[in-house]
Chains A and B, each alone.
Chain A
Amino acid sequence: MVSLRLVRVGAACFFLLFVVAVTWPGMVPFNRIRPLVLGLPFSMVWIALWVGLSFVVFLLVDRVEGRARGTGSALTGMDAGEGVDGAGKGADEADEETKKNERPPGSPRPGDQEAGVEGGAG
């Protein structure tokens, strides 16, 4: 199973790359008219390509995050892992990641006491 941390770091890297790729100087080598792709200038296709890739990246992120939340993908509601109500293995992993990252594990889980976690990290 791909870990939550890996996916988050990966997504962050992807969007940083996206920023670089569509601004100066990352855009410069791809800033050309030809080849025309589907009739469109390459500069426009290059940016649209990153937008399209973002969709793919988010499908992946959503799958892994959903499994970690134990509620499944937000998009399809599928792939909920072993536990239906957040008791699954994925949710435990999410908690560990939260302790490291101070990031929200996702949807509310009543009764899940982690009062000391953030205090310790600060």
Chain B
Amino acid sequence: MERWHGIALIILLYLAVTLGIGLRAGRRASRSVTGYVAGDRAFGLLVMYFIFGATMFSAFAFLGGPGWAYSRGAAAFYILSYGVLGMAPWYWVGPRAARLGRAHGYVTQAQLLRGRFPSRFLSVLMAILTVLAFIPYITLQMRGAGIVIEAVTDGNIPLWLGAAVAYGIVLLYVLTSGVSAVGWTNTFQGIFMLIIAWTLGIYLPNRLYGGVGEMFRDIAAQRPELLTVPGLSDTGDPWSWGGYSTAILVSAIGVAMWPHLFMKAFTAKDDDTIRRTVVLFPTFQLFLIPVFLIGFAGVLFPESPQDPDFILPFLILRSQLPGLVVGLFCAGALSASMSTGDALLHAGASVAVEDGVGLFAELDDRQQRLLMRGLVVGMGALAYFFALYEGFSLVILLLSSYGIIAQFTPPIIAAMYWRRATTTGAIAGLLVGSAVTLFFFFNGHLKPLDLHEGILGLVAHVPTLVLVSLLTSDPAPERTEAFLRAARGDVGEAGGKAPA
């Protein structure tokens, strides 16, 4: 038996366990749309904790994190900085969103917005932006899975097959079990990732340099520019402080707005579950430290991979690790890719149905579920198609989609907290913010101080939202009152209903 046979066996075993957990979970949820999308609003703390953790630490953290630390050094520290900042407000905002979800049966972000700003245009705009932002994200996760499998099996399982098998399994459990499958598999995958990351993060520096301190002493002597912020840019020149600082800001503002994360507020069992997730979140964030150590371990390695994102598989294959460890690593990276990919597929399809198609056609529960499943397959196929073709600048697209997602923050916050906000104001703000973001994305050389285009978008967005809201009036103040009361939790008077 060749070495890669054993590795493939471990991967298969891992995939089988994931599938088993995913399929089992489905037996517990009810068959309604609420059951499929929001998991009957009954997730416990353990599941919530790992859903948030595992979906945030996507293939980007597992492959991109070490890749960044390896090629761009301290630039990668921005990933460590933004997570907690982005989550902190959710101790208060999360329960508010969850209360609205319970009062009105919301399962998506745009439904919440529509409850306060009744506009089909706004809803469809958000649905389109969401799906657009998701496609490159899913593609990236699929490529990640395929790359890892191809690398560790010496090319015997090519990218197209590896990605197809991994995502075939994701499709299978998302289609049969909906969000409860996503929850349980993410719990399993989250634990798995934690163990693998810490093991490798300690093992590789010790094996290659004789210790973590020794490694950084060597790097400080030979490549000191990698160890101080803002590190290097993607071209290998020093990165700007403006670019680094606004990357943190835009990610912190945008991170909780990713629909697959935001929608988890609607799946929480109770408000305390959300609060606990926020309180515990910093503990999960520190998991990035071993991830960086893995990347730094490659810096002074005599050979280099053709693409920095390959640094992890590259190091593992060259350090004469036993097949078992290589197989486990591969499973860890797969779990990172799959746990994000499944949540994205599921959330994307839910949003497209609930906030797009569902507004224009009367669908019963069964038809909605059917359409949602069709869309899961459709989005998966489209992303798979892109994943097979190189040359698409996916990382650039993904970074830009963060700028777009960050534009969801002002209307969502205004809907829940600001009485004077109006529908016209929310639409105007979102349009202006998105337009400015896209303009600077396509005209990068015009960006002042190298600031992130999403931040520039917000600088135009917020004043527009405020000004237009103040200049227009709310046609149904009673509705607004009812909505804000429901947000506060005065259940006795939660009257306002979202239009279908």
A103 touching B92, Cβ below 8 Å: yes
In chain A, what residue has the closest Cβ to B271? A107
Inter-chain CA distance A34–B219, complex, in Å, is 12
Residue ranges of B at the interface with A (Cβ–Cβ < 8 Å): 74, 77, 80-81, 83-85, 88, 91-92, 95-96, 99, 211-217, 220, 224, 227-229, 241-242, 244-245, 248-249, 252, 270-273, 275-276, 278-280, 282-283, 285-286, 289, 292, 417, 419-420, 481, 484-485, 487-493
In chain B, what residue has the closest Cβ to A59? B279
Q: A104-B99, A107-B271 are in contact. List 18 more A-B contacts (CB 8 A).
A: A18-B84, A27-B229, A33-B227, A41-B228, A43-B74, A44-B77, A47-B81, A51-B286, A54-B88, A58-B278, A59-B279, A74-B279, A98-B488, A107-B270, A108-B489, A112-B490, A113-B492, A118-B485
| CB contact under 8 A between A111 and B81, given known A19-B249, A33-B220, A106-B271 | no
Inter-chain CA distance A54–B87, complex, in Å, is 11
Inter-chain CA distance A36–B217, complex, in Å, is 8
A62 touching B275, Cβ below 8 Å: yes
B211 touching A40, Cβ below 8 Å: no
A24 touching B279, Cβ below 8 Å: no
- In the bound complex, residues from chain A placing their C-beta under 8 Å from that of B241 are 23-25
B289 touching A48, Cβ below 8 Å: yes
Inter-chain CA distance A107–B215, complex, in Å, is 49
In chain B, what residue has the closest Cβ to A41? B227
Q: Could you say which interface size class chain A belongs to?
A: 35 or more
B279 touching A62, Cβ below 8 Å: yes
Contact with B along A55-92 (1 / 0, CB 8 A): 10011011001000001001101000000000000000
Choose from B83, B95, B276, B484 the contact partner of A107 (Cβ within 8 Å).
B95
For residue A18, give the distance in angstroms from its CB to the closest CB of chain B. 6
A43 touching B229, Cβ below 8 Å: yes
B92 touching A122, Cβ below 8 Å: no
| CB contact under 8 A between A113 and B490, given known A47-B77, A71-B272 | yes
For residue A11, give the distance in angstroms from its CB to the closest CB of chain B. 8
Choose from B242, B485, B493 the contact partner of A24 (Cβ within 8 Å).
B242
Residue ranges of A at the interface with B (Cβ–Cβ < 8 Å): 11, 15, 18-19, 22-25, 27, 31-34, 36, 38-41, 43-44, 47-48, 50-52, 54-55, 58-59, 61-62, 65, 71, 74-75, 77, 98, 102-115, 118-119, 122
Q: Which of A27, A59, A105, A115 has the most CB of B within 10 A?
A: A27
Inter-chain CA distance A18–B285, complex, in Å, is 15
B213 touching A36, Cβ below 8 Å: yes
A36 touching B216, Cβ below 8 Å: yes
A75 touching B99, Cβ below 8 Å: no
- In the bound complex, residues from chain A placing their C-beta under 8 Å from that of B216 are 33, 36, 39-41
B490 touching A43, Cβ below 8 Å: no
A-B contact pairs, 17 of them (CB 8 A): A19-B252, A22-B77, A22-B248, A23-B249, A24-B241, A24-B244, A33-B227, A47-B77, A48-B80, A55-B280, A58-B278, A62-B91, A62-B275, A65-B275, A74-B279, A104-B96, A104-B99
B248 touching A23, Cβ below 8 Å: yes
A107 touching B489, Cβ below 8 Å: yes
In chain B, what residue has the closest Cβ to A8? B92
Inter-chain CA distance A98–B276, complex, in Å, is 22
Inter-chain CA distance A72–B66, complex, in Å, is 40
Choose from A43, A75, A112 the contact partner of B279 (Cβ within 8 Å).
A75
Q: Give 8 closest A-B pairs by Cβ, nearest first.
A: A39-B213, A74-B275, A39-B212, A23-B245, A108-B489, A74-B272, A24-B241, A55-B282
Inter-chain CA distance A111–B491, complex, in Å, is 8
- In the bound complex, residues from chain A placing their C-beta under 8 Å from that of B228 are 31-33, 41, 43
Choose from A51, A102, A106, A118 the contact partner of B84 (Cβ within 8 Å).
A51
- In the bound complex, residues from chain A placing their C-beta under 8 Å from that of B242 are 24
Choose from A36, A40, A98, A114 the contact partner of B289 (Cβ within 8 Å).
A40
Q: Which of A61, A104, A113 has the most CB of B within 10 A?
A: A104
For residue A35, give the distance in angstroms from its CB to the closest CB of chain B. 11
B492 touching A44, Cβ below 8 Å: no
Inter-chain CA distance A11–B211, complex, in Å, is 37
Q: Which of B216, B220, B276, B282 has the most CB of A within 10 A?
A: B282
Inter-chain CA distance A114–B275, complex, in Å, is 24
Inter-chain CA distance A106–B283, complex, in Å, is 24
A51 touching B74, Cβ below 8 Å: no
In chain B, what residue has the closest Cβ to A16? B85
For residue B40, give the distance in angstroms from its CB to the closest CB of chain A. 19
Q: Which of B229, B417, B484 has the most CB of A within 10 A?
A: B229
A110 touching B271, Cβ below 8 Å: no
Inter-chain CA distance A43–B244, complex, in Å, is 14
For residue A91, give the distance in angstroms from its CB to the closest CB of chain B. 12
Choose from B83, B227, B283, B488 the contact partner of A55 (Cβ within 8 Å).
B283
- In the bound complex, residues from chain B placing their C-beta under 8 Å from that of A115 are 485, 490, 493
| CB contact under 8 A between A51 and B80, given known A24-B244, A41-B220, A104-B96 | yes
Inter-chain CA distance A87–B300, complex, in Å, is 63
In chain B, what residue has the closest Cβ to A107? B271
